[in-house]
Amino acid sequence: MPEFKTTRHVNHSAERMFDLVADIEQYPDFLPLCEALSVRSSREQNGKTLLIADMTVGYKGIRESFTTQVLLNREERKIDVKYVDGPFRFLENHWRFDPAGEGACDVAFYINYEFKNRILGAMMGSMFDRAFRKFAEAFEARADSIYA
């Protein structure tokens, strides 16, 4: 089961980085493999926002869609993603944004997943692994272009 985690120091505030990652409908504009993303529902829950979202990822001729539950916790500067439906056996993803001096923060990114189908996992696994390793970079580059 592939797992990846990283922490990156970025020259943008924790609040700005939280906002950037929380704006999931913009992902197709800059995120590797993300071809489409739509929010099915959104509701406030105990000061947090709970989203149900569908994401389509693709590489060459392969396309897969899946549904996740995204919990945006602005007060704690955390985003937690849980798998709902699609080609995975499971998927979990966590973001944390820790202030690190004036106008900077440390962005912690974690993802753990496994495909249901071994053949699909073999075909897409290494490509997903490379893409997830570039996710944090993609968000940092996006922040640089938006907030610079």
Residues with Cβ within 8 Å of residue 3, at least 6 apart in sequence: 110, 111, 112
- pLDDT score for 124: 67
Radius of gyration of the chain (CA): 15
Residue that is written with structure tokens 């869609």 in the block: 65
Q: Would you kindly state where each structural domain of the chain is located, as residue ranges?
A: 3-147
pTM as predicted: 0.90
The CATH number corresponding to 3-147 among 3.30.70.600, 3.40.50.300, 3.20.20.150, 3.30.530.20 equals: 3.30.530.20
pLDDT in tens, 64-93: 899 999 999 999 999 999 999 998 999 999
One-letter amino acid for residue 38 of the chain: S
3-state secondary structure 84-136: EECCEEEEEEEEEEEECCCCCEEEEEEEEEEECCHHHHHHHHHHHHHHHHHHH
Indicate whether 125 pLDDT > 70: no
Range 86-114 average pLDDT: 94
Helix (H/G/I), strand (E/B), else coil: 144: helix
pLDDT in tens, 9-52: 999 999 999 999 999 999 999 998 899 999 999 999 889 999 99
